Structure 1
Amino acid sequence: MSDTKKVFVLGMARSGYEAAKLLASKGYNVIVNDAKTEQNVEQVKELQSLGIKIVLGSHPDDLFDNTFEMIVKNPGISNNHKYVEKAREFNVPVINEMELAFRYFPIGVTIIGVTGSNGKTTTTSIIYDILKKASKSVFFMGNIGYPVCSFVSQLKDKDIAVMEVSDHQLCNVIDFKTNISVLTNLSEAHLDFHGSYDIYKNMKKRIFNHHTKSDIAILNLDDKELLSLTDNIESTKKYFSSSSSNKLSCSIIDGYICYNNDKIIALDEVKIKGRHNYENAMAAIAVVKELGVDNNVIVSVLKTFGGVEHRIEYVKTINNIDFYNDSKATNITSTQKALSSFAKPTILLLGGLDRGHSFAELKDYLINVKLIVAYGESKFRINDFAMEYGIPCKVVDSLEDATEIAYSSSSEGYVVLLSPACASWDQFKDFEVRGNMYKEYVNKL
């Protein structure tokens, strides 16, 4: 890469900040542009001290032209953004910070990429914890909240990079390649961003880009749509399943998670419960076994791994009412899994950004739901859904109001579950902020 070329970073946030720093360290002339004026002041000052130009508050028509070598785009920004469309006209590549970082990775780094509609964060976290426990030189990065660019200067030959990879990130990759890729499952999500389910699925398939027989694909044998999607990939395929034990890398046999038919751990010893979590654990086992990890290390981690923040996270018990934070449930399938985890009477907090998706697929999971509290942009459609299926529903404006109503409407032995089935962006910056605010509201009760 030439050190005289210009690069346009579209979107600040954590990924834009780290991408800009990496580019400046490589001698590039960098412009960062973000429509939001509210940014981390210290980060802005740091970038400016590196000679980086920062333009905030708008996307001026004349700011981007054909003199740039590439755009490094924040994954959350639409691929129909005017600068992205201009880039296509100018044949300027549009990549993201993950692709940028990959181009500077040292030779010899093993890359593990985990994607899927649900279970990405849990699976990635288990893989990392097991490899760390096994004394591997391993780094945890990606969509989990740690930009890949921030690790480039630390990585060396024989290190392992464990990445959570989202469909938004896979939109703008060119050379990016993993050594081991996991696809946990598929269900409809982010259709407002991609335009169709087929496009979304094909973005997920890019986790296997540039694979050969020497690369490994870890696949969910129980997901027929996933198997169809990956039928023609070049990877060596390994499987996990919670319902079949035929010729699998990882399966459940007689109440044990097994690897190649050898018992690893009894299900009742696994701290995180539920079929979906057993599948996440099996996917992780299939990965770490490719790297030679002993069973005793795997068992030690699975006995103590308590789950991921904002994913069916226990918050507090007040007057024998249990509060759970599942803010990471931004789609219907995630909420289905959360509801399946509880046999107690449940009050469900549902709502957020209205993407127009149907809530009807929740109907078979509402057997224990005594009340839905609907809030946010999608509250009226949720109320219509609840009325159609005879579930009591209360409509409020904010998550704080929803939390208070849920508490006052519950009785001893109830579960109050935030599992919104919607993105957070109508009222919150991201699902993490939403989950943290919910925990604050619970702690104030």
Structure 2
Amino acid sequence: MSTSKKVFVLGMARSGYEAAKLLVSKGYEVIINDANTEQNLEQVKELQSFGVKIILGSHPDDLFDNSFDMIIKNPGISNKHKYVEKALELNIPVINELELAFRYFPTGVKIVGVTGTNGKTTTTTLIYEILKKASLDVLLMGNIGYPVCSFVSQLKNNSIAVMEVSDHQLCNVVDFKTDISVLTNISEAHLDFHGSYDIYKSMKKRIFNHHTKSNISIINSDDKEVLSLTEDIDSTKKYFSFSSPNKLGCEVNDGYIYYNDQRIISIEEIKIKGRHNYENAMAAIAVSKELGVENDAIVNVLKTFEGVEHRIEYVKTINNIDFYNDSKATNIKSTQTALSSFTRPTIVLLGGLDRGQSFDGLKEYLTNVKLIVAFGEVKVRVDEFAKQCQIPCKVANSLHEATEIAYTLASDGYVVLLSPACAAWDQFKDFEVRGNLFKEYVNNLESK
């Protein structure tokens, strides 16, 4: 990419900020536009000191024109945005910060990309921790919360970039290519953003873009949607399966995980429990073995890794009531997984952004649920769903109130589970803010 060109960054946040810094360092003239005026003031001042022009609060019709050579779009912004549509009319490329960063990666960097509807963050983190334990030069980045552009200057020819890649990021990639791609599973999600399940699946498939037989795909062979979607990809395929014998990757046999017939670890030794976590562990094992990691590093991490924040995260026990934060459950499939993880009486907090989603997929997972507490924009529909299922429901005006209701009505030995099955954007900046507030509310319960 040549320098001294003009780039329009649409959406600031972390990714826009880091993209702008990288662009400035490469000699570009940069303009950032974001409708949200609430930005990190220090970051705004820093970018302005570099000569970046920042326009906040609206998207003026005359701001974007044919003087720009490229748009760097925040992954959360729709491709139907007026600036994006205008760029396409003017044949101006639209990419995101992942694609931008990739174009400046040193030649010898190996890229491991992890996508899927659920399990991305845990799998990505496990891979990173194992490779780090094996003393490899590895960096963790991507949708996990660390913009890829911020790592370009740190990468060396022998570095390994381990990245979580979302469907939103995969919308606007062109040249981006991994050496190893992982597809954990596929189920309906983000249909309001993509418009259809087929489009969503086609975005996920882009994790295998530009693959040849020299590249590796790690595929969940227990997931029929995944198998169908990857049927015609050109990668060398490796698989992981919890339920079926599989000699081309990871399998579970007699309580042990094997990779290519080599025994790796007992299921009982893995610290994070539940089938979904064993699947995440198998995907991480497969990547690690393909990169030549010895078993000692793999076993050490799997025996000690406690999971990721906001994903079925144990908060604390108060009066023999266990509280779990699963704020990262922004879709039905994630909440199914969380509910499947407990056999004790459970109170579940459901709610958030109303995307018109059906909650029917939760019905068969409510066996142990004694109460649903509904909150957020979708609370009325959650209440209606609870009535259909003949499960008691309390409607709360806030997450704070929902937490207090759950604690008040929980009995000895109960689980109180925040697993909303909805995005957080109706009331919170993101699921992390929601999860952190829930933990704060739980911690405050002890003083009551």
TM-based fold match above 0.5? yes
Query: Following TM superposition, by how much is the alpha carbon of 1:2 offset from its aligned partner in structure 2, in angstroms?
Result: 2.6
1:432 match:
432
1:45 match:
45
Whether 1:217 and 2:217 are equivalent positions in the alignment is yes
Query: Following TM superposition, by how much is the alpha carbon of 1:235 offset from its aligned partner in structure 2, in angstroms?
Result: 0.5
Whether 1:133 and 2:133 are equivalent positions in the alignment is yes
1:104 match:
104
1:289 match:
289
Kept in 2: contact 1:241–1:248 (CA 8 A): no
1:321 match:
321
2:280 match:
280
Kept in 2: contact 1:285–1:298 (CA 8 A): yes
Residues 253-402 of structure 1 mapped to structure 2, 5 A cutoff: 253-402=253-402
1:156 match:
156
The one-letter code sitting in structure 2 at the alignment partner of 1:64 is F
What is the distance in 1 between the residues matched to 2:126 and 2:2?
39
- Other structure's SS at 1:156 match: coil
What is the distance in 2 between the residues matched to 1:70 and 1:269?
50
Query: Following TM superposition, by how much is the alpha carbon of 1:246 offset from its aligned partner in structure 2, in angstroms?
Result: 3.0
- Other structure's SS at 1:152 match: helix
The one-letter code sitting in structure 2 at the alignment partner of 1:239 is Y
Deviations 1:18-48 (A, max 9, x none): 0000000000000000001111110000000
The one-letter code sitting in structure 1 at the alignment partner of 2:296 is N
Kept in 2: contact 1:371–1:392 (CA 8 A): yes
1:57 match:
57
What is the distance in 2 between the residues matched to 1:321 and 1:193?
37
What is the distance in 1 between the residues matched to 2:3 and 2:106?
19
- Other structure's SS at 2:18 match: helix
What is the distance in 2 between the residues matched to 1:261 and 1:274?
23
1:25 match:
25
- Other structure's SS at 1:370 match: strand
- Other structure's SS at 2:153 match: coil
Deviations 1:276-313 (A, max 9, x none): 00000000000010110011111000000000000000
- Aligned length in residues: 445
Query: Following TM superposition, by how much is the alpha carbon of 1:5 offset from its aligned partner in structure 2, in angstroms?
Result: 1.1
Query: Following TM superposition, by how much is the alpha carbon of 1:197 offset from its aligned partner in structure 2, in angstroms?
Result: 0.2
- Other structure's SS at 1:240 match: strand
The one-letter code sitting in structure 2 at the alignment partner of 1:7 is V
Query: Following TM superposition, by how much is the alpha carbon of 1:180 offset from its aligned partner in structure 2, in angstroms?
Result: 0.2
Query: Following TM superposition, by how much is the alpha carbon of 1:61 offset from its aligned partner in structure 2, in angstroms?
Result: 0.5
What is the distance in 2 between the residues matched to 1:254 and 1:6?
60
The one-letter code sitting in structure 2 at the alignment partner of 1:356 is G
Query: Following TM superposition, by how much is the alpha carbon of 1:4 offset from its aligned partner in structure 2, in angstroms?
Result: 2.1
The one-letter code sitting in structure 2 at the alignment partner of 1:418 is L
The one-letter code sitting in structure 1 at the alignment partner of 2:101 is A
What is the distance in 1 between the residues matched to 2:220 and 2:439?
33
The one-letter code sitting in structure 1 at the alignment partner of 2:369 is V
What is the distance in 1 between the residues matched to 2:226 and 2:360?
23
The one-letter code sitting in structure 1 at the alignment partner of 2:135 is S
What is the distance in 2 between the residues matched to 1:249 and 1:228?
18
Kept in 1: contact 2:116–2:185 (CA 8 A): yes
Kept in 2: contact 1:327–1:418 (CA 8 A): yes
Query: Following TM superposition, by how much is the alpha carbon of 1:123 offset from its aligned partner in structure 2, in angstroms?
Result: 0.2
Please, what is the CA RMSD of the aligned residues? 0.6
1:74 match:
74
Query: Following TM superposition, by how much is the alpha carbon of 1:217 offset from its aligned partner in structure 2, in angstroms?
Result: 0.4
What is the distance in 1 between the residues matched to 2:25 and 2:264?
46
Query: Following TM superposition, by how much is the alpha carbon of 1:245 offset from its aligned partner in structure 2, in angstroms?
Result: 1.4
Residues 218-257 of structure 1 mapped to structure 2, 5 A cutoff: 218-257=218-257
Query: Following TM superposition, by how much is the alpha carbon of 1:260 offset from its aligned partner in structure 2, in angstroms?
Result: 1.3
What is the distance in 2 between the residues matched to 1:159 and 1:327?
32
The one-letter code sitting in structure 2 at the alignment partner of 1:402 is A
Query: Following TM superposition, by how much is the alpha carbon of 1:389 offset from its aligned partner in structure 2, in angstroms?
Result: 1.1
Kept in 2: contact 1:245–1:251 (CA 8 A): yes
What is the distance in 2 between the residues matched to 1:347 and 1:258?
37
Kept in 1: contact 2:315–2:325 (CA 8 A): yes
The one-letter code sitting in structure 2 at the alignment partner of 1:265 is I
What is the distance in 2 between the residues matched to 1:98 and 1:128?
18
What is the distance in 2 between the residues matched to 1:375 and 1:38?
25
Query: Following TM superposition, by how much is the alpha carbon of 1:58 offset from its aligned partner in structure 2, in angstroms?
Result: 0.5
2:413 match:
413
What is the distance in 2 between the residues matched to 1:301 and 1:260?
20
Query: Following TM superposition, by how much is the alpha carbon of 1:441 offset from its aligned partner in structure 2, in angstroms?
Result: 0.6
The one-letter code sitting in structure 2 at the alignment partner of 1:254 is D
Point out where structure 2 has 5 or more consecutive residues left out of the alignment. Answer: none
TM-score of the aligned structures, taking structure 1 as reference length: 0.99
The one-letter code sitting in structure 2 at the alignment partner of 1:231 is E
Query: Following TM superposition, by how much is the alpha carbon of 1:68 offset from its aligned partner in structure 2, in angstroms?
Result: 0.7
* Percent identity (aligned): 78
What is the distance in 2 between the residues matched to 1:72 and 1:110?
24
Greater mean alpha carbon deviation, residues 375-384 or residues 245-254 = 245-254
